[in-house]
Amino acid sequence: MGRESRGHESRESENRTFRLVCGEAEIPAVERLLRVQGYEFRPLPFDPFARELLAEPFPLGTSFALRFGRIYIQDRSSMLPPLALAPPSGAGVLDMCSAPGSKTGMLSRMVGPDGFVLASEPSAERVGILRMNLRRYNAANVGTVRSPAQDLSLSAGRWTHIQLDPPCSGWGTLNRNPGARELWSGDKLPPLIALQKTLLTKAASLLAPGGVVVYSTCTTNVQENEEQVRWAMDNLGLVPESLERPQGFTFETPLLPGMDGVLRVADDSLGQGFFLARLRRPGALPHDVLTGAGAHDCARPGAKNALGSLPGAPLDRERLPAMQGAGPMAVESLPPGMLYESRGTLFFLHQGLLPCVEQGLRVRGFPLGRCKTLESRGGGRPGSKKMGGKKAGKGRKNGGAGGMNDRARFQVDPTARALMPSVQEAGPAAVQVDDAASLEALLQGRSLTAASADAKGPAPLYFDDMPLGWLTRKGKRLLWPEKSMIS
């Protein structure tokens, strides 16, 4: 159906863009999930996951694809910094100013399961939004820290890739925020510029020799852009590297000489006004840099020092599928790392993040669901009532180092696709839904009837063989839970 034939139902898309949240093999399924609702879009030349919206029969924010965490609405210019940083698969990335997580999500995909991202954000409200987004988008290889980035207690000189997208005056976003220029001018600017310098200084100290930081802003203000790059060159010894100009944007000439490789996206471009520079710390990469491969002893699952400093009670990952209520959990599809329980929530922490925990950071892992009767640190001894009243011998046998007894219960979060088996592995437990009407009914709270009356636990839901999430079982009825169970 063409755009015109939709009449008043079709809204103008106004150059709006989004990206697909999936692996390459799943791209056709996400596109079909959008098309069954009548969305039209086209690929963008600079990234295989980026799309431009052409027709929007319903607000994109209410689409199935968004509600199941399979697309992320993002301005095209904002997609450029992670592409400029280009961390390879397996890299460890520090994202210094990360909420709401638009760039964190891209970095998470780019580094893959062997890599990891540490995302910091000082605002309590914004770190909440960041965590909600990362959960919905299943960025299991990301750890978050609520902290100003300049206060992060991390070893100097160990990071190969840093994303620095600091607070800025936002003059490039006047289309969306017409008041930005008046709001962020005059005496509001010097503190902002000083904070950007503080964060650049911190980034330079954390970079390994040969490491790179991408500095980006959504402003056209030269003081926050080229002048900061000049300052970082003169005071921090960072060297700008030439960035290629991606197709589909209008670029302006940099406003200071001697920095030809930085990108200044024009504010009358299809995307918002943006600035980005890739800055390298000179030198050759040493061996002890942070990568997800975990060259560190403390990153080995089971290593004592790492267990001692986890932000909660550890749980052997092999034990998860045996917990009551767990269902067909594919623990093996989680990246390398550890499980821990904190305040009734079970988290996953990527092994690449363990050295950061060792350095005293309060890193929060990726939440998988709710769990009960796990032994907490300093809590019940095996066999005590606190552990479910089992006899000591049996409690130890079933709990062991994992700190869990055989009455432990796990309730997977409906959005935790990271634990979903492939549709083939799920076998008869899999629920396949391939049409819009059934998905709409599920999202409106109507139930599906389970194929087998004997099956227990949550049921994995798929569209075109692509994991969407977990349905809750109530007798023979299967329901999409209204909300995530993790706050």
Summarize as ranges the residues that interact with ligand SAM (CB under 6 A): 78, 96-103, 120-123, 126, 148-150, 165-167, 195
Q: 153 among the known binding-site residues?
A: no
As a whole number of angstroms, the distance between CA 223 and CA 477 comes to 60
Judged by beta carbon, residue 214 or residue 426, the one nearer ligand SAM is 214
The token pair at 310 is: 């986890």
Q: In what order do the strands lie in the sheet with 313-315?
A: 313-315, 337-342, 345-350, 366-374, 404-412
User: What's the residue count for the chain?
Assistant: 487
Amino acid letter, 83: L
CB of 149 to ligand SAM, least distance (A): 4
Using DSSP bridges, classify how beta strands 207-217 and 159-164 pair: parallel, antiparallel or unpaired.
parallel
Is 356 among the residues known to form the active site?
no
Using DSSP bridges, classify how beta strands 431-432 and 459-463 pair: parallel, antiparallel or unpaired.
parallel
Using DSSP bridges, classify how beta strands 477-479 and 448-449 pair: parallel, antiparallel or unpaired.
antiparallel
Q: 356 among the known binding-site residues?
A: no
Judged by beta carbon, residue 150 or residue 201, the one nearer ligand SAM is 150
As a whole number of angstroms, the distance between CA 371 and CA 380 comes to 16
Q: 99 among the known binding-site residues?
A: yes
- H or E stretch covering 99: none
CB of 199 to ligand SAM, least distance (A): 6
Judged by beta carbon, residue 162 or residue 323, the one nearer ligand SAM is 162
CB of 93 to ligand SAM, least distance (A): 12
Judged by beta carbon, residue 191 or residue 302, the one nearer ligand SAM is 191
Q: 100 among the known binding-site residues?
A: yes
The token pair at 411 is: 């309730």
Q: 95 among the known binding-site residues?
A: no
Peptide bond into 100 cis (omega under 30): yes
Judged by beta carbon, residue 243 or residue 374, the one nearer ligand SAM is 243
Q: 101 among the known binding-site residues?
A: yes
CB of 19 to ligand SAM, least distance (A): 12
Active-site residue, from 218, 298, 356, 371: 218
- H or E stretch covering 146: strand 142-146
CB of 103 to ligand SAM, least distance (A): 4
As a whole number of angstroms, the distance between CA 270 and CA 157 comes to 38
Catalytically active residues are 218
Annotated binding-site positions: 97-103, 121, 165
Annotated binding-site positions for S-adenosyl-L-methionine: 97-103, 121, 165
